[in-house]
Each structure stands twice: as C-alpha cells, then as structure tokens.
Amino acid sequence: MDKKAKDVLILDLKGLTTIADYFIICSGESTTQVKAITELIKDKFDDAGIKPLGIEGLTYSHWVLMDYGDIIIHIFEKETRTYYELEKLWIDAKRVQIE
C-alpha cells in the first residue's frame, strides 16, 4: 500500500481566519490510500504526543479532515479534491514552500 500523499499543499491562513493557522491539503488515489495516509499522519502526530481534536470523514474516506487545532489537514480522494477545489476558496492564502 502506497501511503505517499500526492499534490501536497500548505496554506498559511494567518490573518484570514480564526479557525486555523494552516491547512495542509493532499490527495490519495483511492479511498483505501486516503485511509492509509490518514493513519500514517495520525501515527506520526501520536508519536510526537499530539492528539487530534477530531477526525471526520473516515467512514467513506472521500475527504478526511484531521483537526489539530492550529493545523487542519484535508486528505482527499483525487476526484473529490477536484470537485471541491478547496484551494480556490482560500485563494488569498499564502502558499508555504515544502522542502
């Protein structure tokens, strides 16, 4: 199982909203991959002692939202990401360079 997220984008929302400082948006090729990516991210945060405030969308895994307070992670199935175009809703957000 490939757990590597595709098309990762980090949006800096500071000054635009109070719901979070950052959105991390990524895609998986299938619902199975979306679940695997979600589990991997959760495990990494758990290892660092950081628990999510909530995780939504795992039942169908077309769009999983992981709420870590200042950071909200959106993991989309490819087609669902294309449909919702979340990036366009936050067009004014600064894109954070990924190293």
Dist CA 88 CA 34 (whole Å) = 21
The ranges assigned to domains in the chain are 6-84
Instruction: Report the topology of domain 6-84.
Output: Beta Polymerase; domain 2 (3.30.460)
The closest of 6, 49, 52 to 28, measured between CA atoms, is: 6
Buried b (16+ CB within 10 A) or exposed e, 72-88: bbbbbbbebbeeeebbe
Tens-place pLDDT, residues 3-31: 799 999 999 999 999 999 999 999 999 99
Residue whose token pair is 């990036």: 87
What local confidence, expressed as pLDDT, does residue 99 receive?
Answer: 74
pLDDT of residue 1: 46
Structural contact between residues 29 and 21, judged by C-beta atoms closer than 8 angstroms? no
Q: Please write the tens of the pLDDT for every residue from 42-98.
A: 999 999 999 999 999 999 999 999 999 999 999 999 999 999 999 999 999 999 998
Order of strands, edge to edge, in the sheet holding 54-56? 54-56, 63-68, 71-77, 22-28, 6-12, 94-96
